[in-house]
Structures are given as C-alpha cells and as structure tokens.
Structure 1
Amino acid sequence: MDSSREPNVDPSSWILPIQVSLGTVRHGQVEACSISKVPDKLRKPNKDAYVPQVVSIGPYHRGSQNDLLLMMEQPKWNYMRSLIRRSVYQAQQEGRIEDGPGMVKVCGETILEIEYVVRASYVGNALSEPHELAKLMLLDGFFLLEFIHRLYEYKEALKAEDNGDYDDDPVFESHEKVLSVLSDLLLLENQVPFIVLKKLYRKLFPIPVPIQQDNRVATLAIGAVGYPSVVPTSGAAHLLHLVHLSIVNQEDRKNLGKRLKS
C-alpha cells in the first residue's frame, strides 16, 4: 500500500482544470477568467469599495457573515418565484403549457450542461460540487433577470411620475436602496457569466432564434441601467463588462462624430 498517497483524493481530480479550460475554447460566448478577485494592491486603500454591501452575486462572497448580505437571500428566492410567474404567464398567453417546478428543473439541467464554461469564467476553484454551483447560478441568475425587469419598470414608472407600490419589495423600498443594489451588481467580484443569464432567459422565454443572435437580455439590461441602447449587445462576459462595452462604444461614437466634423 502506498502510504504517500493523499487519502480521500479523487485520482481523476487533476483533469478538472483541463476540462474547465477546454470549456471556453472557441466558445464565442464566454471569456475565461473574466470574473476575478480584485488584486490586494488595489484593494488596500479601501477594501470595502470592492466588496458587496447589500447583495452578493456569484461564489466569491457566498457565505459572508455580513448581515445585510444575509438579509437579501430571502428576497432572491422571492424574485426567482416572480420570474417563474412571468414565464408561466407568457407561456399561457402563447398557448403553451408550462409549470414552475418543471421550468426550474429544465433551467437547472441547462446550467449543469455548461458547468465547465461557468467554472472557466471564474479565477480559482469556484465551488467544487457541480450541483451546488448550479444552484447558485440558478438563484443568482433568476434574481438578476427579475431585478433587470423590475428596474426597467421602475424607471418607466418614474418617467410617468408614478411612484408605484413597492412596499413588499425590500430592493425598491427607496431610491437609495435601488442605487446601492445596482452599485453592488456592478462590482467585478459580484458577477455571474452572461451566458448563464442568456441560457436561463431562453428557457424561460423561448424564441426561435440562435443564441448568438438573441440579445434580449443585454438590450433589456443596458436600458435598465441607463446606458445608450445602441451598444454592442453580444460578446459581453458579464453585466459589468456589458456596461464597459457601452461606455467604450459611446466614447468611440463621440470621437467618430468629432472626426467627421473636422
């Protein structure tokens, strides 16, 4: 018996990093290591600036003992249920038969199919157990999609000078709270791969269009956060990257306009 061998170690575990890396090769919808930790050198002056204060998204701050982050876990489940209701209602309007539990099962299986792609998006070992990773992507992905919907509706209501009724929604209880949540969702360490959002949305609200041409989530998101709608809506690795692309695109358009006038 080889006593030098580590106990309880899966002999095939060494292959996982290779499988993860292969998950993004020629994928076109994912960037490897696009969601990383902020380097300590940048974090030192103000470490809280890079840490979510209200809502945690993704694996990096999962399990935090921050009371505010823990308080947002139940609203996430409420948002998940609300998004499923949107999906079931649309299915009924289109004459399709869908049910909530079945939809969750389909979405969960979809996330498991892209497990290696999801892992490759993160730097380091982001949750070793596939089903735990899928559960996290489901909950946070559904929350993000429903938040984007509600943020868009909230902005439209403000334009119409309609304060609305948000008494049962702790995220939209005040304008300051909305801004705090949005600020957290634009932190580098607080992201989920955009491919997760696209895959989930296509299962919840199916359309007969190839995924490469389905830019509904990006269009809705960029409109909800208040950036120009004429932006690249494909190729974003995550929500923060989408906003970055919008800003860069806006500056490029301004510079092009200046050059054309000169």
Structure 2
Amino acid sequence: MGMIHYTPSGVRLTEHIRRPGNLNWLFLPGGPGIGSESLTGLVDLLEVPGTSWLVDLPGDGSNVEGPGILDDPFRHWPNVLTEAAGTVANPVFVGHSTGGMYLLATAELEQLLVGLVLISTAPDASWLPAFTTMTEQNPLPQVELTTARYESEPTNENLAAVAVASTPWNFGTTTLETGAKFLATMPYNGAAVAWSEENFDHDYEYAWWPTLIPTLIVSGSEDRIVTQELWNDKRFTGNNIHHARIERGAHFPWFENPAAVKATFEKYSESLARAMLESPY
C-alpha cells in the first residue's frame, strides 16, 4: 500500500499498485456504503500500466474521519468525484455498480478523464424494477430477516449481515463460499446507503455519455443485481465504446472468471494507449 491522498472535500485516494506507465486508474466501489476494499482483488488481478488507486467518497465505507470531511460529508455527492479526477494526471475512472452510476451522473468528468470503465452498472434507474422482480422470484429468507433487523437497528454491523445474506444474488454457484467470506470482511456505512436511497438511486439517469473517451463496459453474463440488458440500446455504442461480456460472471465478475476480466482490461489498455497516441488529451 502506497501513499494516501485526500482531496479538499475529503475524497480518499489510496495508492494500491504502481507499475510503469503514465496512467492513473481510479477504482470506485459500488454499494453504496461498501468500501473500496471491495475492489482490491480486482486491482491485484489486473496488470494495467500506471498507478492504481482505491477511491472512497467522503462518508463512504471506512472514509469517515479523514481531513476535509464535513459534518455533512454527502453535501456534494457525487460531484466531488471531479476532485479525485483532477488530483492525478491521465485519470481513468473505473466504477463498479453504483460507483459507475455516480460517474455517469457527474457530467464534468467528461473534460477530465482519458478513459472510463463501467463494471456491473447501468445508465439509469430502470435497473431497479428488474432487481425487485429478481428478488421476488428468488427470495432469500435470511435477507428478509437481516433487513428487518437493520431497519429496526440501522448499525453498520447489521448492514454487513444483510450484505452477507445476499451472497446468492451477488455470486455464482461456484463462488458462494468465497463471496460470503469476502462480503463479511468489507467495511460498510449505513449513512451512505441512506443518502443514496433518498437522493440518488430512484431518480438516477446518466448526465453524460462519452463520445471520444475510450470506454469499456464490463458485464457479467449472470449479473442478477444490475441487469446488463440496458446496455443493448444503440445509444451506448460507438467507435470509442467497447463492450465485454464476461461468461459466468455475476455482479463481481472477476470472482467467477478472473482470466476473462484480466484479458478484457489488457485489450482495453492497449486500445487506450493507441487512442492517446493518436489524439493526446
């Protein structure tokens, strides 16, 4: 683990891996409420050129006491992402799930990024009805029990129990045990969940779409949390848009098919390098 940097509003950038290259990869977790620690396995798997950073918004995950964090750390969510992108040269933002939605809701990023990767995410809130239908068709009694406990006593520990109970929705059959252990060790933050539920999740719609920035959309073929069918719309195609379907991949597709995810990032890194040579930002 390398240096830790805080932006003026308290976004935390933790240097995780430094390799040769001039790119800075900013990995933003999903959730909301789960820390960027949820992406360390992904970052460790990839061999992308440059420096890889784990990014936590102020008040999210374990980032609750850093410098710059206000009494209301969510006041400028998700626009504080521009501070993270402006901190480093040649930023490539990688957003998982809700993290990707926050990126697409922040139009100012279009002028700051040299690359964008969207994993297990969606362009608007229409993924939510599909998720609700999935949960009704595949009920998990333990999720109902832990959710009721969390609603009556909204502690971070009870939120973690909900996450662990949801393992069968998040992971494939071959990664259930590993996935449950993974979710059990993550930091959670109920305040971030509450903010997103009230202010973002249900009304979310992408505010910008990259027309020139090389963009990678990574979709697990078995993702049951965020339907990936929404990306089939022709609006989300173009010479700069690369779609990658990860066979057998669930919501954290690098668990079920790490080789495919690694190869996908390698191919994207090569295309990104070519694009930067042809049209430097």
TM-score norm. by structure 1 comes to: 0.29
Query: Bigger radius of gyration, 1 or 2?
Result: 1
TM-score norm. by structure 2 comes to: 0.28
Higher strand residue share: 2
